[in-house]
Structure formats: C-alpha cells, structure tokens
Amino acid sequence: MKKLIVLCGALAALLLTGCAQHKKPYDYSAFRASKPASILVLPAENKAPDINAAHSLTSLVTRPLAEAGYYVFPVAVVEETFQQNGLTSGSEIQAVSPARLNKIFHADSALYISISEYGSSYRVIDSVTTVSATARLVDLRSGKELWQGSASASDNEDGNNNSGGLVGMLVSAAINQIASNVSDKAHSIAGLTSNRLLAQNEQGGLLTGPRYKLISAR
C-alpha cells in the first residue's frame, strides 16, 4: 500500500510537471528586434453598446505606456488629426496602413485596441460592470505585429456575498445599477482593465521601453 501511495504521488507530480512544460513562453523576438521608442495609440474599435467606451479606455492607456518608458503621442491630438481627414470611427482609423501612419506621425509603433465589453448589465439578482479589451502593438516601419494581449476587469470579481436573501440581493442589484449610471463606474473599471492589459512583464505583458530606467529612477 505504501509503495502504491508513493507511486501515485510520483505520477501526479510527473503529470503536473508535464502540464507546466506545455505552456510556451511568450515570443518577444520581433519586439526586441524592433526596439520601439514611441507608440501611437489609435482610437479604439468599439464593439460594446456604450458609445463612450472608446473615448474612455483610450484616454486611460497613455499613463501605463508612459510609465513603461515609451513616448506616447497625445491621444486628443491624434484623434483630431484623423477627424480633420474625415476618419471618425476606430474601425476606419485602424484600417489605415502602417506605412501611411508612419508617414503621417513618424511613430515607431501603433497600439490597436478593440473593446468587447464596457458597462453594466442587470442580471435580475445582480448588477455587474465589466470592461474587456484586446490590444496589438504593430511596428509601423515594417508592419509586423510585435505583441498582443487581452484583459478584463469587473466590480464583481470577489463574487456576490450578499447575505440578505433574495430580496436583499434584488435591492442591492438595483442600487448598484443606479450608482453605476450616476457615477460612470465603467470608466473606473476601464482604468483597471487598462493597467492589466498594458502591464510590464515578460510573461505575456509589454516589454519596457527605452526611457523606463530614467523614469523608474525618479
């Protein structure tokens, strides 16, 4: 029996080790070869029903990118430039070729953001505010994709621990929905999504830019 227990334990450890080995490290070879110093944040493609989603999330990505050591083109100036040329939606703007974007802005790279969820949903006994997005970093000099990632955040990540019964849960959900509409809770959640999406690490996150050491030394 003892031998059987030891054998089972060894087999379980082997299986766990095998599973861990199947996870491939993120390939940063193109990113490291490109060495982008500047990032052009394009207006986001909005697939969520809330028309404010694109402006909200796009306005929040400049800080984590700048803190990562990149020069980030002012989002408002970039958007105004496209509007002056008749491009107003994120999908239209993101269809512009990398070569054209490089010629106009002289940026090393561009960040393409797509929003799939943004806002609060009322689910009878709960009200949840969620923001989900994906992003791609593309070298505007070569057109190569350097990185891609995704992130999501909500105000219900700890679960619903309401102990007031069904009536209490209904009341809580209604209050949460009203509070979300009044305070634009989605914008706050978008900030968390942005930080997660553009986190700097070598496990699938962004690599730091050339100004990172200078910024972190302050």
| Tens of pLDDT, residues 38-63 | 999 999 999 999 999 999 999 999 99
Report d(CA 39, CA 71) in Å as an integer: 6
**Spatial contact of 115 and 133, defined as CB atoms under 8 Å apart:** yes
Residue-by-residue DSSP string for 36-75: --EEEEPPPEE-SS-TTHHHHHHTTSHHHHHHTT-EE--H
Nearest to 31 by CA among 96, 88, 111, 130: 111
Whole-structure pTM over 0.85, yes or no?
no
User: Is the per-residue pLDDT at 190 higher than 70?
Assistant: yes
* Complete domains list, the chain, with CATH: 25-216 (3.40.50.10610)
* First-to-last C-alpha distance (Å) of the chain: 62
DSSP H helix total and E strand total for the chain: 10, 6
Q: What is the pLDDT of residue 14?
A: 47
pLDDT in tens, 194-217: 999 999 999 999 999 999 987 776
Angle between helices 185-197 and 165-183 (to 10 degrees): 80
pLDDT in tens, 95-136: 999 999 999 999 999 999 999 999 987 665 567 899 999 999
Report d(CA 147, CA 32) in Å as an integer: 10
Q: What is the pLDDT of residue 24?
A: 81
Q: Which residues pair with 200 in a beta bridge?
A: 206
**Spatial contact of 36 and 137, defined as CB atoms under 8 Å apart:** yes
- Confidence label for 184 from pLDDT (cuts 50, 70 and 90): confident
Angle at 43 between CA 202 and CA 97, to 5 degrees: 85
**Spatial contact of 111 and 73, defined as CB atoms under 8 Å apart:** no
Report d(CA 98, CA 141) in Å as an integer: 7
